[in-house]
Amino acid sequence: MDLLQQALKLPPNDVGEAIDLTGKVALVTGGGEGLGRVYALLFARLGAKVVVNDLKGADAVAAQIREMGGDAIVETTSVENGAAVVKAAIDAYGRIDIIVRQHVMRLLVGPNG
């Protein structure tokens, strides 16, 4: 408890410089839900164009970004075909500046392991 009391007496952290991602392109795998969705929305709020890649939920996230005034495309190709995901981003925006690999690979294991 003593450390907590000391921490509560510390001054607030410096806010730092504002982050502006205008003109940048973010590719977020697993962007349709969970943390990937949070990353996609954050990058859009900071001005980036976002490629939302997921097998489900990507359409809703991209629509939400567009409703906020942002720019987003949906790419539903499995990340197992990473070249196609990257190609879609390059075809749409000509570049990729940020990549977040947030997808979850679900491996199916048979009864014998």
* Structure confidence at residue 110 as a pLDDT band (50, 70, 90): low
The pLDDT value given to residue 2: 87
The DSSP call for residue 33 is S
Mean pLDDT of 92-97: 98
Q: What is the pTM of this model?
A: 0.81
Beta-strand runs (E) in 1-113: 25-29, 49-53, 72-75, 98-101
* pLDDT tens digits, 61-82: 999 999 999 999 999 999 889 9
pLDDT above 90 coverage of the chain, percent? 79
Fold category of 25-101 in CATH: Rossmann fold (3.40.50)
pLDDT at residue 34 above 60?
yes
pLDDT at residue 87 above 90?
yes
> Are the beta carbons of 61 and 31 closer than 8 angstroms?
yes
Question: CA 99, CA 113: separation in Å to the nearest integer?
Answer: 33
- Pairing type for strands 72-75 and 25-29 reads unpaired
The domain locations on the chain are: 25-101
